[in-house]
Amino acid sequence: MIAPPYQPSAALQAVASQAEERVNGAFSLAQRGAVYSARTELIGAVRMICEALDAQSATERRSHALAQAMRAVREVEDFAPRGWQSAGEIELAHVVPGHRTPVLKEVDLTTLTPLLAAQRYYTFAQEQFAASVAPVPAGSQALFGLGKLQAAMPGNGSEAQTLATARAMVFFQAALLVDGSNFMAANELGVLLARMGQWQDAREVLQHGVAHGPRAVLWHNLARVHRQLGEFALAESADQEAARAQQYPDRAEWPAQPGNGDGFVRWVSPQQLRRSPGGDTVVTQPTPAVHAERPSSPSGFSAWLPWTTTNR
């Protein structure tokens, strides 16, 4: 079943415009390194949209979904080993009853590991984040920004980095559930999947991204993933598209399947991207696009990362 087109009321459109201004302001703060202030603005934008949608439907369903999502990403930390603790030492039967996240309340916990329990929580969180702002595109952009900030937040140790990466993926997937055309979220999600060695999932997500936002950086990342998978003809084709994207910076001059970018990524506001189709794609700081070689990661790290096939 095809979802109806997004047709907001005048009141909702006004709120969405205000939320978009906050998102753009948050991206500007992030560019200057003010990540905590940026996070506050992005959460504020999400709350604005939630409240407007609830007012329109005379319910508190969206606000409840947001609260559940935020609680799930906090409570999931209880499934992560700390210090010298091993995953086998975590007793789910002792942890889950103290949580308010509902997904495991009726599940036989003896059949689950802490990793699987965490994945259930992360999947629930991404669905609830998406439900809180769908189908408002500004909500998708705010969730995308929150995902980017996870990589910028300071953290100590591999456990903190693991949780930050998993949360980033939750936000990127939620952003795509809200707005499937959010190619920035697709690019960032694809890069994370590739860095975790999940090359086939990365290929699928990046292919989705170039279908909606054929920028050179997406084509470049997709070429690297194809090459890693041994798909050399497809990698060459993607490289050619990336080169064509740089050759035709004006959308009116683009041949079929073009894009743009310079192989590096930086913070650019969604508003700027819409004004200038030839602009760069987004990430926190200028860093090279994903490399073809498999990056190193802690043992079992990718198992913590959420992934579902919903709306991919």
The structural domains of the chain, with segments of one domain joined by +, span 10-179, 181-312
pLDDT at 215 over 60: yes
121: nearest Cα among 310, 308, 309? 308
Query: Considering the chain, what percentage of its residues have pLDDT values greater than 70?
Result: 76
If DSSP codes are grouped into helix, strand and coil, which group holds residue 265?
A: strand
- CATH architecture for the domain at 181-312: Alpha Horseshoe (1.25)
281 neighbors 268 (Cβ within 8 angstroms): yes
Q: Worst-scoring range by mean pLDDT, 21-35, 175-189, 259-273, 276-290?
A: 276-290
Amino acid at 279: G
Q: How far apart are CA 270 and CA 249, in angstroms?
A: 18
Predicted pLDDT at 249: 55
Asked whether the whole model's pTM tops 0.75, one would answer yes
Predicted pLDDT at 306: 54
Higher pLDDT, 193 or 152: 193
Query: Considering the chain, what percentage of its residues have pLDDT values greater than 90?
Result: 63
Predicted pLDDT at 163: 86
Mean pLDDT of 278-300: 33
The mean of the pLDDT values for the chain is 81
